[in-house]
Amino acid sequence: MTYRARAFAVGLIVLANSLQAQWPAKYLRPALRGTVTDSLTGKAVAHATFSVRERSGIGWTDSSGRYLYFDAPVGDIEFALNCPVSRGLVGKSILTQRLHIGPATDTIVNFRVDGSRCQDSPATTRRVELIGHYTSGFETSVLQPCAPMIEPESSAYASGGYIWVEASDSAHFGLGVKWPKRAANADYPVVYVRVIGDLTGPGAYGHLGGATYELKIAEVLEARAAAGHDCR
Protein backbone atom coordinates (compact mmCIF):
# COMPACT_ATOMS: atom_id res chain seq x y z
CA MET A 1 0.00 0.00 0.00
CA THR A 2 1.35 3.41 -0.95
CA TYR A 3 1.51 6.25 1.54
CA ARG A 4 -1.31 7.97 -0.39
CA ALA A 5 -3.48 4.86 -0.10
CA ARG A 6 -2.61 4.56 3.57
CA ALA A 7 -3.54 8.20 4.14
CA PHE A 8 -6.85 7.60 2.35
CA ALA A 9 -7.55 4.57 4.55
CA VAL A 10 -6.73 6.58 7.68
CA GLY A 11 -9.02 9.33 6.41
CA LEU A 12 -11.88 6.86 6.06
CA ILE A 13 -11.35 5.68 9.64
CA VAL A 14 -11.28 9.26 10.95
CA LEU A 15 -14.43 10.07 8.94
CA ALA A 16 -16.20 6.97 10.22
CA ASN A 17 -15.26 7.80 13.81
CA SER A 18 -16.51 11.34 13.31
CA LEU A 19 -19.79 10.10 11.86
CA GLN A 20 -20.21 7.75 14.78
CA ALA A 21 -20.36 10.69 17.17
CA GLN A 22 -23.27 12.08 15.13
CA TRP A 23 -25.31 8.90 14.67
CA PRO A 24 -28.18 8.21 17.08
CA ALA A 25 -27.14 5.65 19.67
CA LYS A 26 -30.00 3.29 18.68
CA TYR A 27 -28.29 2.71 15.30
CA LEU A 28 -24.94 1.76 16.81
CA ARG A 29 -23.72 -1.58 18.01
CA PRO A 30 -21.35 -1.43 21.01
CA ALA A 31 -17.86 -0.15 20.30
CA LEU A 32 -14.50 -1.33 21.57
CA ARG A 33 -12.33 1.63 22.55
CA GLY A 34 -9.51 2.69 24.82
CA THR A 35 -5.88 3.77 24.78
CA VAL A 36 -2.47 2.26 24.07
CA THR A 37 0.45 3.52 26.18
CA ASP A 38 4.09 2.56 26.66
CA SER A 39 4.46 0.60 29.90
CA LEU A 40 8.00 1.94 30.38
CA THR A 41 7.52 5.64 29.65
CA GLY A 42 3.78 6.13 30.08
CA LYS A 43 3.64 7.91 26.71
CA ALA A 44 0.91 7.33 24.14
CA VAL A 45 1.70 4.84 21.36
CA ALA A 46 0.56 6.69 18.25
CA HIS A 47 -0.12 5.13 14.83
CA ALA A 48 -0.05 1.55 16.07
CA THR A 49 -2.30 -0.70 14.00
CA PHE A 50 -5.05 -2.82 15.50
CA SER A 51 -7.35 -5.49 14.13
CA VAL A 52 -9.98 -7.99 15.20
CA ARG A 53 -9.44 -11.51 13.95
CA GLU A 54 -13.15 -12.11 13.50
CA ARG A 55 -13.43 -9.15 11.10
CA SER A 56 -11.39 -7.89 8.14
CA GLY A 57 -9.65 -4.52 8.04
CA ILE A 58 -7.30 -2.60 10.31
CA GLY A 59 -7.30 0.69 12.20
CA TRP A 60 -4.72 3.03 13.71
CA THR A 61 -4.34 4.65 17.10
CA ASP A 62 -4.41 8.45 16.94
CA SER A 63 -1.70 10.86 18.12
CA SER A 64 -2.92 10.43 21.70
CA GLY A 65 -2.80 6.63 21.52
CA ARG A 66 -6.60 6.29 21.40
CA TYR A 67 -8.29 3.60 19.34
CA LEU A 68 -11.92 3.03 18.39
CA TYR A 69 -13.45 -0.06 16.82
CA PHE A 70 -17.19 0.37 16.36
CA ASP A 71 -19.70 -2.19 15.14
CA ALA A 72 -17.69 -4.67 17.18
CA PRO A 73 -18.86 -8.30 17.05
CA VAL A 74 -20.62 -9.26 20.28
CA GLY A 75 -19.02 -12.15 22.13
CA ASP A 76 -15.44 -13.37 22.40
CA ILE A 77 -12.94 -11.84 19.96
CA GLU A 78 -9.19 -11.84 19.41
CA PHE A 79 -7.76 -8.31 19.42
CA ALA A 80 -4.29 -7.70 17.97
CA LEU A 81 -1.94 -4.72 18.22
CA ASN A 82 1.05 -4.15 15.93
CA CYS A 83 3.99 -1.78 16.27
CA PRO A 84 3.83 1.58 14.48
CA VAL A 85 6.13 1.81 11.46
CA SER A 86 7.13 4.59 9.08
CA ARG A 87 7.86 2.40 6.04
CA GLY A 88 4.89 0.20 5.37
CA LEU A 89 1.48 -0.62 6.70
CA VAL A 90 1.76 -3.04 9.62
CA GLY A 91 4.66 -3.61 12.00
CA LYS A 92 5.37 -6.72 14.03
CA SER A 93 2.86 -8.06 16.52
CA ILE A 94 3.23 -6.57 19.99
CA LEU A 95 0.08 -7.88 21.68
CA THR A 96 -2.72 -10.36 21.09
CA GLN A 97 -5.49 -10.67 23.63
CA ARG A 98 -8.88 -12.36 23.93
CA LEU A 99 -11.65 -9.94 24.84
CA HIS A 100 -15.37 -10.24 25.51
CA ILE A 101 -17.69 -7.69 23.89
CA GLY A 102 -21.02 -7.24 25.66
CA PRO A 103 -24.25 -6.42 23.81
CA ALA A 104 -25.39 -3.38 25.78
CA THR A 105 -22.56 -0.89 26.34
CA ASP A 106 -19.16 0.02 24.92
CA THR A 107 -16.22 -2.09 26.01
CA ILE A 108 -13.30 0.03 27.23
CA VAL A 109 -9.86 -1.62 27.39
CA ASN A 110 -6.63 0.30 27.97
CA PHE A 111 -3.48 -1.49 26.86
CA ARG A 112 0.05 -1.00 28.18
CA VAL A 113 2.77 -2.40 25.91
CA ASP A 114 6.56 -2.54 25.89
CA GLY A 115 7.41 0.23 23.42
CA SER A 116 11.10 -0.73 23.38
CA ARG A 117 10.13 -3.66 21.14
CA CYS A 118 9.01 -1.21 18.48
CA GLN A 119 12.21 0.57 17.51
CA ASP A 120 11.82 1.92 13.96
CA SER A 121 15.15 0.69 12.59
CA PRO A 122 16.63 2.86 9.80
CA ALA A 123 16.57 1.35 6.33
CA THR A 124 19.91 0.64 4.67
CA THR A 125 20.93 -0.62 1.22
CA ARG A 126 23.88 -2.95 0.69
CA ARG A 127 25.25 -5.09 -2.14
CA VAL A 128 24.84 -8.81 -1.38
CA GLU A 129 25.15 -12.23 -2.99
CA LEU A 130 22.27 -14.56 -2.15
CA ILE A 131 21.20 -18.09 -2.97
CA GLY A 132 17.72 -19.47 -2.59
CA HIS A 133 14.44 -20.20 -4.32
CA TYR A 134 12.78 -17.57 -6.47
CA THR A 135 9.03 -17.79 -7.06
CA SER A 136 7.20 -15.81 -9.74
CA GLY A 137 3.48 -15.49 -10.35
CA PHE A 138 0.47 -13.27 -9.76
CA GLU A 139 1.45 -10.61 -7.19
CA THR A 140 4.40 -12.86 -6.39
CA SER A 141 8.06 -12.13 -7.00
CA VAL A 142 9.87 -13.39 -3.94
CA LEU A 143 13.14 -14.98 -2.97
CA GLN A 144 13.24 -17.45 -0.10
CA PRO A 145 16.93 -17.30 0.83
CA CYS A 146 18.73 -20.40 2.02
CA ALA A 147 20.15 -18.40 4.93
CA PRO A 148 17.18 -16.72 6.69
CA MET A 149 17.20 -12.95 7.08
CA ILE A 150 17.25 -12.40 10.84
CA GLU A 151 16.02 -9.09 12.20
CA PRO A 152 16.93 -7.91 15.72
CA GLU A 153 14.21 -8.72 18.24
CA SER A 154 13.73 -4.99 18.83
CA SER A 155 12.90 -4.25 15.19
CA ALA A 156 9.36 -2.99 14.63
CA TYR A 157 9.06 -4.71 11.25
CA ALA A 158 7.37 -8.06 10.90
CA SER A 159 9.35 -10.64 8.97
CA GLY A 160 7.56 -12.60 6.30
CA GLY A 161 10.63 -14.83 5.92
CA TYR A 162 11.21 -13.89 2.30
CA ILE A 163 12.62 -11.06 0.16
CA TRP A 164 10.61 -9.13 -2.41
CA VAL A 165 12.41 -9.14 -5.78
CA GLU A 166 12.00 -6.37 -8.31
CA ALA A 167 11.62 -8.72 -11.27
CA SER A 168 8.64 -10.68 -12.52
CA ASP A 169 10.28 -13.30 -14.79
CA SER A 170 13.51 -14.39 -16.45
CA ALA A 171 13.28 -11.61 -19.03
CA HIS A 172 13.88 -9.08 -16.27
CA PHE A 173 16.87 -11.04 -15.00
CA GLY A 174 18.38 -11.49 -18.46
CA LEU A 175 22.19 -11.26 -18.71
CA GLY A 176 22.64 -14.46 -20.73
CA VAL A 177 21.64 -16.94 -18.02
CA LYS A 178 19.67 -19.87 -19.38
CA TRP A 179 16.38 -19.96 -17.50
CA PRO A 180 14.92 -23.39 -16.66
CA LYS A 181 11.89 -24.39 -18.70
CA ARG A 182 8.61 -23.72 -16.95
CA ALA A 183 6.25 -26.66 -16.43
CA ALA A 184 2.91 -26.22 -18.18
CA ASN A 185 0.93 -26.60 -14.93
CA ALA A 186 3.20 -24.41 -12.76
CA ASP A 187 1.25 -21.25 -11.91
CA TYR A 188 3.94 -20.25 -9.43
CA PRO A 189 7.19 -21.73 -10.78
CA VAL A 190 10.06 -22.09 -8.31
CA VAL A 191 13.65 -21.68 -9.52
CA TYR A 192 16.94 -22.04 -7.67
CA VAL A 193 19.03 -18.88 -8.16
CA ARG A 194 22.34 -17.39 -7.13
CA VAL A 195 22.18 -13.63 -7.56
CA ILE A 196 23.96 -10.37 -6.77
CA GLY A 197 21.88 -7.32 -6.00
CA ASP A 198 21.11 -4.37 -3.75
CA LEU A 199 19.23 -5.35 -0.61
CA THR A 200 17.14 -2.65 1.13
CA GLY A 201 15.43 -2.87 4.51
CA PRO A 202 14.05 -3.40 7.01
CA GLY A 203 10.63 -2.19 5.95
CA ALA A 204 7.46 -3.58 4.40
CA TYR A 205 7.80 -4.41 0.72
CA GLY A 206 5.92 -6.23 -2.02
CA HIS A 207 2.39 -7.56 -2.01
CA LEU A 208 0.59 -6.35 1.15
CA GLY A 209 3.97 -5.37 2.62
CA GLY A 210 4.70 -8.97 3.59
CA ALA A 211 8.45 -8.87 2.95
CA THR A 212 10.87 -7.17 5.34
CA TYR A 213 13.48 -6.67 2.58
CA GLU A 214 13.53 -5.75 -1.09
CA LEU A 215 16.17 -6.92 -3.59
CA LYS A 216 17.06 -5.18 -6.84
CA ILE A 217 18.82 -7.73 -9.03
CA ALA A 218 22.12 -6.63 -10.56
CA GLU A 219 23.40 -9.98 -11.85
CA VAL A 220 22.20 -13.59 -12.03
CA LEU A 221 25.10 -15.99 -11.52
CA GLU A 222 23.07 -19.19 -11.71
CA ALA A 223 19.50 -20.29 -12.38
CA ARG A 224 18.22 -23.86 -12.55
CA ALA A 225 15.32 -26.07 -11.58
CA ALA A 226 14.79 -26.25 -7.83
CA ALA A 227 15.83 -29.40 -5.93
CA GLY A 228 15.36 -30.57 -2.37
CA HIS A 229 19.10 -30.46 -1.58
CA ASP A 230 19.66 -26.85 -2.74
CA CYS A 231 20.12 -25.29 0.69
CA ARG A 232 22.04 -28.08 2.44
**What distance, in Å, lies between the first and last C-alpha atoms of the chain?**
36
pLDDT of residue 220: 87
Residue 176: per-residue pLDDT: 53
- Under a CB-based contact definition with an 8 Å cutoff, are residues 201 and 143 in contact? no
**DSSP calls for 180-227:** PPPPTT-SS-EEEEEEEEEEEESS-BSGGG-BSEEEEEEEEEEEEE--
**pLDDT given for residue 36 in this prediction:** 97
Digitized pLDDT (tens) for each residue of the chain, 232 residues in all? 444 444 444 444 443 443 444 444 544 567 899 999 999 999 999 999 999 998 888 899 999 999 999 888 889 999 999 999 888 888 889 999 999 998 888 899 999 999 998 988 888 999 999 999 998 877 788 999 998 877 766 688 877 788 999 764 444 455 456 677 766 666 677 889 999 999 999 888 888 778 889 999 888 888 888 888 899 8
Summarize the chain as % helix, strand, coil (round to 5).
15, 40, 45
Q: What is the pLDDT of residue 182?
A: 67
Q: Model's pTM, two decimal places?
A: 0.69
Specify the pLDDT at position 157. Answer: 85
Question: What does the alpha-carbon distance between residue 168 and residue 205 come to, in Å, rounded to a whole number?
Answer: 15
- The Cα 145–Cα 46 span in angstroms is 34
Q: What is the pLDDT of residue 136?
A: 80
Domains present along the chain, CATH in parentheses = 3-117 (2.60.40.1120), 124-225 (no CATH)
What is the pLDDT, as a whole number, of residue 54?
87
Output the pLDDT for position 185: 61
CB contact at 8 A, 193 and 220 = yes
> What pLDDT was estimated at residue 200?
93
